[in-house]
Amino acid sequence: MRKTIRSLLDDGNIAIGVFIMYPFDTGLEVLKFAGIKYVIFDLEHEQLTISEILPMIRTSDACGMATMVRVPDFNDKSSIKKALDIGASAIMFPGISNAEQARQAVSSCKYFPLGTRGFCPFVRGNEYGFFADTDYYTRKNEETVVVVIIEDLEGVKNMEEIISVPGVDVVSLGSYDLSCALGIPGQVRDPKVTSVVSDCMKLCQKKGKYFFAGAYEPKTLDNYKEFDNIVLVNTSSPINVLYNTYKKLCDGMNSHWSIKNASD
């Protein structure tokens, strides 16, 4: 059964997901078996194209994993339209700095009368036109989730206004970009960064919006225990897990071999 980001939010249970930045079709099934609930296909960074994402959305749908696409820019209407047309159930927008940009992001994802999304019934995201009721596009508007990322100083200054925009469902804080903007590149655990993350979580809770959280080990979830607006939790990328696992295995084998030979 096809899962959507909206269905995960409605369920209200923690849903662990990962970013995918490269063709990874077979690996998606492995992620599903491991317990991953959603994947974010990334058009902002690395190498993926829309054509490469399409078969991976099909695979994700087949094995019951929800899909989201991070587009390159809030104003990249072509990528937004195509991502939704091929079946993504949510769009993530990087670099949102003010409320007007957030409104444009929402508008690009919604059909009339809520927005300006281009209308074509004969695409995969619209079941190739094989729907029979007049309420279909109303349901699609309700189903499509909009996620915005605040990651610069202007965005932090306008954070409450951005979060308040109708149609923004989930808000993320781009800690790495923010650390650069604050003059402490990569120091995402610095209090200057973590205090902004905390403020964002509290504002999201106040405004009835979801906060997109990050957790790379189970105990990190303790940071979110006071909040009931956290469902989507991003964790380590498959490449990072692959490297760390094989590095530990190879180092262990090399060490064991050296000790064995020295004792013989």
- Yes or no: say if 98 and 155 are a contact pair by the CB < 8 Å rule: yes
With b meaning 16 or more CB within 10 Å and e meaning fewer, what string describes 20-34?
Answer: bbeebeebbeebbee
User: Could you tell me the residue ranges of all domains in the chain?
Assistant: 5-263
For the entire predicted model, the pTM comes to 0.94
Three-class secondary structure of residue 174 per DSSP: coil
Give dist(CA 105, CA 167) in Å, integer: 9
Q: How much is the pLDDT for 264?
A: 66
Number of H helices, E strands in the chain: 11, 8
- Of 18, 68, 6, which is closest to residue 43 (Cα–Cα)? 68
CATH number at 5-263: 3.20.20.60
State whether the Cα torsion 9-12-18-23 is positive or negative: negative
Amino acid identity, residue 84?
L
| CA–CA distance, 73 with 70 (Å, rounded to integer) | 9
Q: Is the pLDDT of residue 41 over 80?
A: yes
Amino acid symbol at 244: N
Query: What tens digit of pLDDT does each residue of 72-130 get?
Result: 999 999 999 999 999 999 999 999 999 999 999 999 999 999 999 998 989 999 999 89
Q: What is the helix (H) or strand (E) element at residue 40, kind and residue range?
A: strand 38-42
List pLDDT tens digits, range 232-259.
Answer: 999 999 999 999 999 999 999 999 888 7
